[in-house]
Amino acid sequence: MPAIEQLIPFFIAAVIFAFIPGPAILYTAAQTMAKGKRGGAFAALGIHIGGLVHIIAAAAGLSAVFTHAPMAYTILKILGAVYLVWLGYGMIRGKLDASELPHMKNHLKKKVFFDSMMVEVLNPKVIIFYIAFLPQFVDPSAAYPLWLQFIILGVIDNILFSVVDILVIFLTSAVISGLKKSEGTQKIMRWVSGSTLMGLGVNLALSEK
């Protein structure tokens, strides 16, 4: 493992990055608004697993594909953007009775989890972040191989991001719990949530890097 003098600045930097409002926080909040606390929890879990996929891919050197083949980055980015817009549109068109929110059906849990994981996996910015951030804190002279250090640091970073997502779930849930569970309110929350996801998709598609 890297020396303690490297781990301390890594942890501080990781915590700062975790608390900076970004797409994952907005996505988790949108899912919580549309599908309740449990929906937000399954969304956060999906994002967490998707992050692990990127960490493993980066540690295995698959990130080099984006460096030597920019078209692969663009294709993955467009796929991720289209997927977000599609999810947002489906969220606006869909209906979920307020009484179902505390007890989501199994198929809905699986769908939220899968959709969230795919959103994270199809976002090439995540793997670019890891390959830009983590190498600063690995130690070539350490007993552990570089790829293992990369995974360990990546997992720690991913956990910190997930902790923040959980805080966002409880905060969002506390806000919407005070709203009247009327059909009109549910429609507004679906529109806000769906529009948020569609906006994230458009932003991803138009971003340079």
Cα 121 from Cα 115, distance rounded (Å) = 10
Q: What integer pLDDT is reported at residue 179 of this predicted model?
A: 63
Average pLDDT, the chain: 79
In this predicted model, what pLDDT tens digit does every residue of 131-166 receive, in sequence order? 778 877 877 777 778 788 889 899 999 999 999 999
Residue 16 — left, alpha, or beta (φ > 0 → left; ψ -120 to 50 → alpha)? alpha
Question: Among candidates 34, 85, 84, which has minimal Cα distance to 187?
Answer: 34
Q: Which of 59-73, 102-116, 124-138, 147-161 shows the lowest mean pLDDT across its residues?
A: 59-73
**To the nearest whole percent, how much of the chain has pLDDT over 70?**
80
CA separation (Å) from 133 to 8, 57, 60? 14, 15, 16
Q: Which of 49-53, 95-99, 184-188 shows the lowest mean pLDDT across its residues?
A: 95-99
The answer to whether the CB of 78 falls within 8 A of the CB of 207 is no
Q: Which of 29-38, 68-77, 137-146, 183-192 has the highest mean pLDDT?
A: 29-38
The answer to whether the CB of 83 falls within 8 A of the CB of 119 is yes
Q: What integer pLDDT is reported at residue 181 of this predicted model?
A: 59
Q: What integer pLDDT is reported at residue 99 of this predicted model?
A: 43
CA separation (Å) from 155 to 9, 49, 61, 207? 16, 10, 17, 26
Cα 105 from Cα 173, distance rounded (Å) = 19
What is the rounded average pLDDT of the residues 14-24? 83
What is the rounded average pLDDT of the residues 169-190? 73
**Res 94 pLDDT > 80:** no
Question: Among candidates 128, 30, 20, 25, which has minimal Cα distance to 85?
Answer: 30
Q: What integer pLDDT is reported at residue 165 of this predicted model?
A: 94
Question: Among candidates 63, 72, 23, 25, which has minimal Cα distance to 150?
Answer: 63
Helices and strands: H and E segment counts in the chain: 8, 0
Q: What integer pLDDT is reported at residue 98 of this predicted model?
A: 43
